[in-house]
Amino acid sequence: MALDGIRMPDGCYADGTWELKMNVTDLNKDVSLRVTGEIHIGGVMLKLVEKLDVKKDWSDHALWWEKKKTWLLKTHWTLDKYGIQADARLLFTPQHKLLRLQLPNMKHMKVKVNFSDRVFKAVTDSCKTFNIRHPEELSLLRKPRDPKKKKKKLEESEEETLELEGPLLTPGSGSIYSSPGLYSKTMTPTYDSRDGSPLSPTSAWFGDSPLSEGNPSILAVSQPISSPDILVKLYKPPSLLDKAKINQGWLDSSRSLMEQDVKENDVLLLRFKYHSFFDLNPKYDAIRVNQLYEQAKWAILLEEIECTEEEMMMFAALQYHINKLSIMSSDNHMNNSEKEVDEVDAALSDLEITLEGGKTSNTLGDITSIPELADHVKVFKPKKLTLKGPKQYWCTFKDITISCYKSREEAHGIPAHQMNLRGCEVTPDVNISGQKFNIKLLIPVADGMNEIWLRCDTEKQYAQWMAACRLASKGKTMADSSYNLEVQNILSFLKMQHMNPDPQIIEPITTDINPECLVSPRYLKKYKNKQPGYIRDLISARILEAHQNVAQMSLIEAKMRFIQAWQSLPEFGITHFLAKFQGSKREELIGITYNRLIRIDASTRDAIKTWRFSNMKQWNVNWEIKMVTVEFADEPSLSFTCTEVDCKVVHEFIGGYIFLSTRAKDQNESLDEEMFYKLTSGWV
> For the segment 179-236, what is each residue's pLDDT rounded down to a tens digit?
333 344 334 455 444 444 445 433 333 333 334 433 445 788 888 888 888 888 888 8
Q: What are phi and psi of 34, to 5 degrees?
A: -85, 115
SS3 225: coil
Amino acid identity, position 223: Q
The secondary structure of the chain in percent helix, strand, coil, rounded to multiples of 5, reads: 35, 25, 45
The reported pLDDT for the residue numbered 472 is 92
The pLDDT of 536-541, averaged and rounded, is: 84
The reported pLDDT for the residue numbered 141 is 95
Pairing of strands 627-632, 616-622: antiparallel
SS3 110: strand
Which of 313-327, 461-475, 515-529 shows the lowest per-residue confidence on average (mean pLDDT)?
515-529
* Cβ atoms of 437 and 458 closer than 8 Å: yes
CATH class of the domain defined by 575-681: mainly beta
> For the segment 364-398, what is each residue's pLDDT rounded down to a tens digit?
444 556 789 999 999 988 755 454 678 899 999 99
> For the segment 297-353, what is each residue's pLDDT rounded down to a tens digit?
999 999 999 898 889 999 999 999 999 998 887 655 444 433 434 455 555 555 555
Q: What are phi and psi of 160, to 5 degrees?
A: -70, -30
Enumerate the domain spans of the chain: 18-94, 372-478, 575-681
In order of 44, 391, 518, the CA distances from 417 in angstroms are 77, 12, 45
Residue by residue, what is the 3-state secondary structure of 290-352? HHHHHHHHHHHHCCCCCCCHHHHHHHHHHHHHHHHHHHHHHHHHHCCCCCCCCHHHHHHHHHH
SS3 449: strand
Alpha helices, DSSP H, located in 362-519: 459-473, 483-496
**Higher pLDDT, residue 507 or 403:** 403
Confidence band, pLDDT 50/70/90 cuts, at residue 11: low
Q: What are phi and psi of 360, to 5 degrees?
A: -120, 145
SS3 120: helix
Confidence band, pLDDT 50/70/90 cuts, at residue 276: confident
Report the sign of the C-alpha dihedral through residues 92, 95, 99, 104, in that order. positive
Measured CA to CA, the distance from residue 562 to residue 548 in angstroms comes to 15
Measured CA to CA, the distance from residue 342 to residue 348 in angstroms comes to 10
How is the beta sheet containing 70-72 ordered, strand by strand?
A: 29-35, 18-24, 89-94, 61-65, 70-72
Measured CA to CA, the distance from residue 187 to residue 286 in angstroms comes to 13
Measured CA to CA, the distance from residue 32 to residue 30 in angstroms comes to 7
Q: Which residues contact 4 (CB under 8 A, 6 or more apart)?
A: 13, 14, 15
The reported pLDDT for the residue numbered 439 is 94
* Cβ atoms of 554 and 196 closer than 8 Å: yes
Pairing of strands 417-420, 108-114: unpaired
Domains 372-478 and 575-681 share a fold: yes
Pairing of strands 138-142, 267-272: antiparallel
Q: What are phi and psi of 223, to 5 degrees?
A: -110, 135
The reported pLDDT for the residue numbered 142 is 94
- Please name the fold of domain 372-478: PH-domain like (2.30.29)
Measured CA to CA, the distance from residue 476 to residue 479 in angstroms comes to 8
Measured at the CA of 329, the angle between CA 305 and CA 304, to 5 degrees, comes to: 5
The reported pLDDT for the residue numbered 217 is 57
Q: Give percent of the chain with pLDDT exceeding 70.
A: 75
In order of 200, 214, 322, 328, the CA distances from 335 in angstroms are 11, 12, 20, 11
Cα–chain center distance at 631? 26
Pairing of strands 61-65, 89-94: antiparallel
Paired residues of 33 in beta bridges: 20
Pairing of strands 96-102, 267-272: parallel
Which of 94-103, 355-364, 496-505 shows the lowest per-residue confidence on average (mean pLDDT)?
355-364
> For the segment 636-683, what is each residue's pLDDT rounded down to a tens digit?
889 999 888 888 889 899 988 888 877 655 555 556 667 776 777 655
> For the segment 588-624, what is each residue's pLDDT rounded down to a tens digit?
899 999 888 999 988 888 888 888 888 888 888 888 8
Q: What would you measure as the largest C-alpha separation in the chain, in angstroms? A: 111
Report the sign of the C-alpha dihedral through residues 270, 274, 276, 279, in that order. negative
Measured CA to CA, the distance from residue 681 to residue 652 in angstroms comes to 6
Measured CA to CA, the distance from residue 307 to residue 431 in angstroms comes to 11
Measured CA to CA, the distance from residue 669 to residue 367 in angstroms comes to 29
In order of 391, 417, 495, 540, the CA distances from 413 in angstroms are 19, 12, 38, 55
Distance in angstroms between the alpha carbons of the first and the last residue of the chain: 54
C-beta neighbour count of 24 within 10 angstroms: 19
The reported pLDDT for the residue numbered 673 is 67
Q: Which residues contact 201 (CB under 8 A, 6 or more apart)?
A: 188, 189
* Cβ atoms of 656 and 275 closer than 8 Å: no
How many residues would you count in the chain? 684
Write down the mean pLDDT value for the chain: 80
44 pLDDT above the threshold of 90: yes
Measured CA to CA, the distance from residue 644 to residue 396 in angstroms comes to 46
CATH class of the domain defined by 18-94: alpha beta
Helix and strand numbers, DSSP H then E, in the chain = 18, 23
The reported pLDDT for the residue numbered 156 is 46
Alpha helices, DSSP H, located in 526-629: 532-547, 555-568
Measured CA to CA, the distance from residue 457 to residue 463 in angstroms comes to 11
Pairing of strands 29-35, 18-24: antiparallel
The reported pLDDT for the residue numbered 178 is 34
The reported pLDDT for the residue numbered 348 is 57
7 pLDDT above the threshold of 80: no
Measured CA to CA, the distance from residue 539 to residue 533 in angstroms comes to 10
The reported pLDDT for the residue numbered 68 is 93
